[in-house]
Structure 1
Amino acid sequence: MAYNVHRIGDLGQLGECEPFFIDHYQWTKGEKPKAYGKMGLLENYGLVVSMTAVERNPLRTYTEENTPVYKDSALEAFLSFPGVLGNQSYLNFEMNANGALLSAFGTTKERVFLRDFTRLQAVCEAKIEENTWEILLKIPMELICSLFQIEPLQRGDSFTCNFYKICETPEYEHYGSFAPIISERPNFHLPEFFETAVIV
């Protein structure tokens, strides 16, 4: 079933958007942290995604941009838009509880850090509570349009996406996804398993 992306006039309305749940855990039998989020199309800006993980004291080693935050406790958003590059190219945003953001663009086999590719960047904010931590990811529409060579998203437009909860450090290792993935090995970089999202 497609995820409905509601258009919003300000960030305060993001809380009213449709939730998604990262509840497909596979490849390991250990940790399965509860995680969920919401995504909206913010007027005059672009896509905004809030994500929450129910974890006390999340592993948060990395503090710098484009460091391997997936080794920490991380939340991730991957998005692909139907443009001249087809459905194989996508954006991947990976974030830890420090707000360290790894952002890249490309295909399953070859991706480039956005910082090395364009001046346009997404922004990540993180907040830690006693039993949860959350991120707010803001993706400018100009960034999406320039990479995929498309017009700004409008009502009725669709794209594909998946959201993840991950930690690759062995003692905390886990892999959760919003849309299920068919793979014998842990691999989130499989756009063929992204879910459809529709602007409503």
Structure 2
Amino acid sequence: MKSLVIRFTEALNDIDIESAGDILDTFGEASNIEILNWKAEYPYRPITLFNIARSSDSIFIKYSVRGSMLRAIYSNDQDPVNEDSCVEFFCQVPNSDKYMNFEFNCIGTCKASKRLARNSDVTPYSKEELSMIKRYPSLGRRAFKEMEGMFEWELTVKIPLRIMGIDPNNLPEKIRGNFYKCADGTDSPHYVTWNPVQTPKPDFHRPEFFGDLYF
């Protein structure tokens, strides 16, 4: 099982999301989303890196992706962005049966919920809560159909701790989570993970395979 540290970075306090990426490059903990758990059926693996850190009240993640094919047809929050060129962060706080899924396509459209399992006891985040999740996509926010070629893109997101059920003034030692790269609906479908997922078919909704994320 992998682990990483979500370090407190004072420079992230009261900063615009557009400027957070440079701070994450310097002070965030860097890692790769590179594990092909289902290589025989889905061998494609775009290069996907992320940097993570936190401010006093939020977690910041910067994703950097390089790969073939690019798609972003969904522009409304809670659309099925996993079908587009997509990066994801799933997490679970201590003493909770539920986990959270935060999914973003390459133009920053977000799908997020709290749930017991993939299709069980699902509570989507409200429009107000989604508006609190700040995003800065390098590609802009305009939707587009799938394009062929080699592409590089970045996405920086800010997720408030409170909407994750975490009191910023009383942080747990750690939470558990996983990071993903996928693109279900493209001509190059892929399912890549940070921590290994030991299931016969692609399934990101498996908190038993989350790694440890320390505060």
**Normalised-by-shorter TM-score class:** 0.7 to 0.9
SS of alignment partner, residue 75 of structure 1: strand
% identical aligned pairs: 21
Q: Deviations over 1:111-130 (max 9, x none)?
A: 22101795874222211398
Distance 1:5 1:73 in 2: 25
Question: Which residue of the partner structure matches residue 116 of structure 2?
Answer: 107
Distance 1:70 1:137 in 2: 16
Q: Does residue 1:5 correspond to 2:18, yes or no? A: no
| Residue segments in structure 1 that go unaligned for 5+ positions in a row | none
Q: Deviations over 1:70-117 (max 9, x none)?
A: 01110001111114xx2x311111111121111111121232210179
- Asked if structure 1 preserves the Cα contact closer than 8 Å seen for 2:44 and 2:188, the reply is yes
Distance 2:190 2:7 in 1: 30
- Asked if structure 2 preserves the Cα contact closer than 8 Å seen for 1:114 and 1:121, the reply is no
> In terms of mean alpha carbon deviation, does 24-33 or 95-104 score higher?
24-33
- Asked if structure 2 preserves the Cα contact closer than 8 Å seen for 1:30 and 1:173, the reply is no
Question: Which residue of the partner structure matches residue 137 of structure 1?
Answer: 157
Q: Deviations over 1:136-177 (max 9, x none)?
A: 1111122123xxxx5326677101110000011262110000
Question: Which residue of the partner structure matches residue 152 of structure 1?
Answer: 168
Q: CA 1:185–1:17 in 2, change beyond 3 Å: closer, same or farther?
A: same
What aligned pairs does 1:61-80 form with structure 2 within 5 A after superposition?
Answer: 61-80=73-92
1:38 pairs, out of 51, 69, 72, with: 51
Q: CA 1:33–1:153 in 2, change beyond 3 Å: closer, same or farther?
A: farther
Aligned residues: 191
Q: Give 1:198 deviation, angstroms.
A: 0.6
> In terms of mean alpha carbon deviation, does 28-37 or 60-69 score higher?
28-37
Task: Give the CA RMSD over aligned residues.
Answer: 2.4
Residue type of the alignment partner of 2:163: L
Question: Which residue of the partner structure matches residue 179 of structure 1?
Answer: 195
SS of alignment partner, residue 191 of structure 2: strand
Distance 2:183 2:121 in 1: 22
Distance 1:91 1:156 in 2: 16
Structure 1 segments (4+ residues) deviating >4 Å: 116-120, 153-156
| Residue segments in structure 2 that go unaligned for 5+ positions in a row | 13-19, 141-149
Distance 1:31 1:51 in 2: 18
Q: Does residue 1:127 correspond to 2:138, yes or no? A: yes
Residue type of the alignment partner of 2:88: E
Distance 1:153 1:177 in 2: 31
